[in-house]
Chain A
Amino acid sequence: MAKYGLLIDYNWCTGCHSCEVACQMELGLPVGQYGIKLTELGPWEYAPGKWQLTYVPIPTDQCTLCDKRVAMGKIPSCVQHCQAKCMQYGPLEELSKLLLDHPKQVLYSLD
């Protein structure tokens, strides 16, 4: 059976928190618990005018990869609602090939 995961092109993650809340609402999680959580790297200035300010969402142990939604033919709620459209769901084998396309991507193996 194919293993599935999430590919996040964090070059484009703007830190909007939509993935967090979409997940909380889908899974019925209380405030303070997450199926996916944003991390912030920065801000700091490492050279004149050059800033480190990056967001990366990380799935937690409560992530189900939206198995119920997926069974209905939908995509995971975080992926659908990501405002920057920088998340993809799919088989790890296919997603892993996309890692070669460009830098600043992470692939989560979740299944």
Chain B
Amino acid sequence: MEEKSWSYAQHSKPFKYQEGNLTVTRGSAWSGPGCHLGCGVLLYTDENGKLVKVEGDPENPYNDGRLCVRCLNVNEVTNHKDRLLYPMKRDPKDRGKDKWERISWDEAYDIIVEKFNKIKDEFGAETILFTQGTGRDIAQWISRLAWSFGSPNYCYHLSGAACYLPRVAGMAVTTGGYWVADCSQQFIDRYDNPQYQVPETMFVWGNYPLTSNSDGFYGHWVIDLMKRGMKIVCIDPKVTWLAARAEEHLRVRPGTDAALALGMLNIIINEELYDKEFVEKWTHGFDQLKERVQEYPVEKVAEITWVPAEKIRNAAHILAKSKPATMQWGLAVDMTKESLPASQAIAALFYITGNADIPGGIIMPPELLPYSGGFGHDLLSPEQAEKRIGLKDYPIFQYGFQIAQPDAVQKALETDDPYKIHAGWFQTTNPIACVAAQPKRWAEAVKKLDFVVFVDIFMTPSIMEVADIVLPAATFPERDGLRVGDGVQRGEVINKVTQIGECKSDMQINLELGKRFNPAAWPWENVQAMFSDILKPTGFSFQELQEKAPAYMPFTYKRYEKGLFRPDGQPGFNTGTGKIELYSTFYEMVGLDPLPYFEEPSPGPGATPELLEEYPLVLTTGARIWSMFHSEHRQIERNRAFRPDPEIEVNPDTLKKLGIKDGDWVWVENERGRAKRRVKGTPVIDPRMCSCDHAWWRPEAGPENLYDVLDLNINNLVPWIPGKSGFGSNFKTMLCKLYKVKEGE
């Protein structure tokens, strides 16, 4: 790509400058700690190289000087007294006990290389898992480490990979890429870009973007756009600040989004409100979709979803009338078992109304380094690639995403089927507190491994329970890096300004270890050289981009008309039919229903009404918190002050019936287990349901009782059961009962 086609920020100062006694370094942020976004930040360090302050960068078009509470006190995380400072080892027979011994990096690497190579020689490289948690600044590097070592089992240990991946995979196989809301984030001049148009309406579906800040989407762009006249429609069971300001608010029953979307499709298709020219020219299988949606008349859908028919009709009419309309969707769509058909139905609403790849509609984000494909899959031999766990049962995992199927991995750990796993590399992930369903089962299964390595920024209950070696990872102000990842990618750099203990960045650890395992696959002298290689299309090296960043890729709309979506340069989409597949030829080929459908979440009021007597409430989990990200921040006093205890939100009328008061501690229980929560009575929750935040542990409780994680973790109630495709799991739709915690419990 030509250098001149990129756009760069104009800066008034170099990327590093003095302000009084402090040095200011411009750059970007990317978890850990914090979220996936990559906001522009100014990092302030004192004469001793200590990070003392963080501010938003007013020259960065992404966040325009703003920051959320999680970034504003990053110095309190980076400098926290409980950081892991050096590598440590522990005798495997002492797993679960606080019996760590400090070692050098060289000794740690020597042990890992010796153990991994021995296991590889004896049992095969595939018997070592390489696991990551949420989309921290690691996915590309850890995938390369796994593949260059020879293991196809790069994995993300969340049942059904039920976070973003189902939607992305579903869109990829039906349209040849994935779609995000167009908030002008691809333009350096943002809302003022002459090509851009403010959406007339944004559908905020299964997501609260203001707190969740996921998928490359800066939540408060919604507010920027509302100020510029955009209306919103909210699909959310809860009354939120945004929902209270929406043109229409559909308080959908958790797990029934697919039915709602099919009901809206029914209206839009039967009333002929769709974009006939686009449908005719650029979609495949409209007639079959039309036939399918006849099974979802709006009155039936109203009964399923708890949303009145009139409101469903109104939302469908708003969508049809809005030119353009866009959608910001989220986790609730993934965290139901049949998430693939749900996302298929929801996305179809926006394709058939002609909103794909137009200004203010939905766009396919440009990528510097493919986020979904990992980095270096070609390093894996075809024989090894075939051994990836879960491929046989879930063929869709062959396409696009290169991860092992998580539920199949859990099964392999527990039953040695299809083969015994011998070791695990867990990089910045805390499964026992966060991603793992039934966390006790996860811990028991991982404890069977011969050798377990963890990398993280703090001691976590996962490390304490199962690890033999722990390596200290850097927070973002301690490392050089690139902000590549989900959503629209930019040439955006992360700049190291401080050093804590012997911590190293995730990518440095991966590079150094990769060089020891397979030097040919890691030809770079250092991480900066590796980044420069990736940044070639920008026309700059990493060091040059430090001054220039952020760099914006060229972008144009209606790329399907110009042949820009297909490798052969023909107009259309990169699918088997060359069109957006409303009827998926790929799903058909792998034995899945080619059309979207709704399946009742089970257990649930629709599937198992007989269970309502014992478990009367629908439970949804994973509600986001302003000040904390997943299982992080529990030891940071300022962040914790906003939410000292794990919560469950319950309607006051429900509490009255149960004889429970606001502020009481309760057990939330289902057939699988229970978790402790503090009750928050609030009318914003439907009386038939309750809502929990997630990933709770108490660092202050100490290692003896594993930081109380097994008492507090709401995932005690969540099963390891994915959808038919292998994507999706019921984290956000279960049944439960509540009862008071007794004294001493």
Contacts and interface: CB of A to CB of B under 8 A. Distances in A.
Interface string B23-63: 00000000000000000000000000000011110100000
B106 to A, nearest CB: 38
B638 A18 contact: no
Contacts of A20: 69
B592 interface: no
A53 B684 CA distance: 10
Contacts of B227: 12, 85
Given A14-B241, A53-B244, A82-B66, A43 B683 contact: yes
Contact of A21 (B73, B241, B244): B73
Contacts of A12: 223, 226-227
Nearest to A42: B244
B223 A81 contact: no
Nearest to B70: A21
A25 B239 CA distance: 32
A15 B68 CA distance: 11
Contacts of A84: 220, 223
Interface string A40-69: 000111000101010100000000000000
B239 A22 contact: no
A43 B682 contact: yes
* Most A C-beta atoms less than 10 A away, residue of B211, B239, B682: B239
Contacts of B65: 80-81
B83 interface: no
Given A24-B638, A25-B53, A51-B239, A18 B682 contact: no
A43 B240 CA distance: 9
A12 B66 CA distance: 15
A37 interface: no
A17 B220 contact: no
Given A14-B223, A16-B210, A43-B683, A80 B55 contact: yes
Nearest to B223: A84
A33 to B, nearest CB: 11
Given A25-B53, A53-B244, A16 B69 contact: yes
Interface in B210-238: 210-211, 219-220, 223-224, 226-227
A17 B627 contact: yes
A83 interface: yes
Contact of B69 (A14, A21, A72): A21
A80 B56 contact: yes
Contacts of A22: 67, 72
Contacts of B627: 17
B277 interface: no
Given A12-B223, A17-B642, A43-B239, A85 B66 contact: yes
A81 B66 contact: yes
Contacts of A85: 64, 66, 220, 223-224, 227
A82 B641 CA distance: 20
Contacts of B642: 17
Contact of B68 (A16, A49, A51): A16
A1 interface: no
A6 B211 CA distance: 25
* Most B C-beta atoms less than 10 A away, residue of A14, A32, A83: A83
Given A22-B67, A31-B638, A83 B223 contact: yes
A15 B684 CA distance: 16
A50 to B, nearest CB: 8
B249 interface: yes
A83 B58 contact: no
Interface residues of B, number: 38
B278 interface: no
Interface residues on A, range: 20 to 34
Contacts of A25: 53-54, 72-73, 75
B638 A14 contact: no
A83 B220 contact: yes
Contacts of A51: 239, 244, 684
B55 A81 contact: yes
A81 B220 contact: no
Given A16-B210, A18-B72, A25-B73, A44 B641 contact: no
Nearest to A9: B227
B66 A17 contact: no
A21 B223 contact: no
Contacts of B19: 72
A17 B626 contact: yes
Nearest to B642: A17
Contacts of A17: 69, 626-627, 642
B223 A18 contact: no
Nearest to B53: A25
A31 B637 contact: yes
A18 B242 CA distance: 18
A49 B249 contact: yes
Interface string B62-89: 0011111100110100000000000000
B54 to A, nearest CB: 8
Nearest to A15: B241
A104 B609 CA distance: 46
Contacts of A15: 241
Contacts of B641: 31-32
Contacts of B56: 80-81
A55 B684 CA distance: 16
Interface in B611-651: 626-627, 637-638, 641-642
Interface string B725-741: 00000000000000000
Contacts of A14: 210, 220, 223, 241-242
Interface of B: 19, 53-56, 58, 64-69, 72-73, 75, 210-211, 219-220, 223-224, 226-227, 239-242, 244, 249, 626-627, 637-638, 641-642, 682-684
Given A16-B210, A45-B239, 17 more contacts: A12-B227, A14-B241, A15-B241, A18-B72, A21-B72, A21-B638, A22-B72, A24-B73, A26-B53, A31-B638, A31-B641, A32-B641, A43-B239, A53-B239, A72-B19, A77-B55, A81-B65
3 shortest interchain CB distances as A-B pairs = A51-B244, A83-B220, A21-B69
23 contacts: A12-B227, A14-B220, A16-B210, A18-B72, A21-B73, A22-B67, A25-B73, A43-B239, A43-B244, A43-B683, A44-B683, A51-B239, A51-B244, A51-B684, A53-B239, A53-B244, A53-B684, A81-B65, A82-B66, A83-B68, A83-B223, A84-B223, A85-B66
